[in-house]
């Protein structure tokens, strides 16, 4: 697997950098446009989750591993962590809340796992198959 890593400041202004990096890697590896759009959105939402909820983390680590079959992406912070809930489709009244981003990732990626430990941080792991 080829591995691509970047580290960005935990600031909303830098989320676009992570999105662009992920779309670039997907493009290099020949993913079609629809899947590249899915990867762009999923990485953006995962980074949003850190910016909005990863209190205490100075930066965000994005690791992309890719081969001919799939792309594995992890987005990690060293914030305070949280207790993950079951991912559900929020109602429109809840769209301003925190559940929508993870619901979107779960809908457009082939696999999603959220690992979080209090005071140690959170890692969002996603897989997109070719």
Partner 1 sequence: MAVKIRYLFSERSDRWEVKIIGEVDINTSTEVKEKLESILEEKQKSMIINAEELDYIDSTGLGMLIGIVKKLKQQDLELVLAKPQDSILKLFRITGLDKVIRIREE
Which residues contribute to the site for partner 1 (CB under 8 A)? 12-13, 15-16, 19, 34, 37, 40-41, 44-45, 48, 51-52, 89, 92, 95-97, 100-101, 103-104, 107-108
The three-class DSSP label of residue 105 is helix
Tell me whether residue 44 or residue 121 sits nearer to partner 1 (CB atom): 44
Tell me whether residue 37 or residue 65 sits nearer to partner 1 (CB atom): 37
Distance in Å, CB of 48 to partner 1, minimum: 5
Distance in Å, CB of 104 to partner 1, minimum: 6
Expressed in percent and rounded to 5, the helix, strand and coil fractions of the chain are 40, 30, 30
Q: Give the span between the Cα atoms of 26 and 70, in whole angstroms.
A: 10
Tell me whether residue 51 or residue 66 sits nearer to partner 1 (CB atom): 51
Distance in Å, CB of 83 to partner 1, minimum: 20
Angle between helix 33-53 and 15-28 (nearest 10): 150
Tell me whether residue 70 or residue 100 sits nearer to partner 1 (CB atom): 100
Q: Give the span between the Cα atoms of 73 and 4, in whole angstroms.
A: 9
Token output for 48: 């949003």
């Amino acid at each position: 697997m080829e591995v691509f890593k970047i580290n960005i400041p935990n600031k909303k202004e830098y989320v676009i950098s992570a999105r662009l990096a992920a779309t670039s890697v997907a493009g290099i590896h020949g993913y079609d446009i629809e899947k590249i759009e899915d990867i762009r959105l999923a990485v953006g939402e995962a980074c949003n989750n850190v910016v909005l909820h990863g209190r205490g983390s100075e930066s965000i680590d994005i690791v992309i591993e890719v081969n001919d079959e799939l792309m594995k992406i992890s987005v990690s912070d060293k914030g305070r962590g949280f207790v993950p809930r079951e991912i559900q489709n929020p109602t429109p009244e809840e769209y301003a809340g925190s559940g929508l981003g993870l619901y979107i990732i779960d809908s457009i990626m082939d696999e999603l796992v959220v690992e979080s430990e209090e005071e140690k941080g959170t890692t969002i792991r996603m897989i997109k198959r070719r």
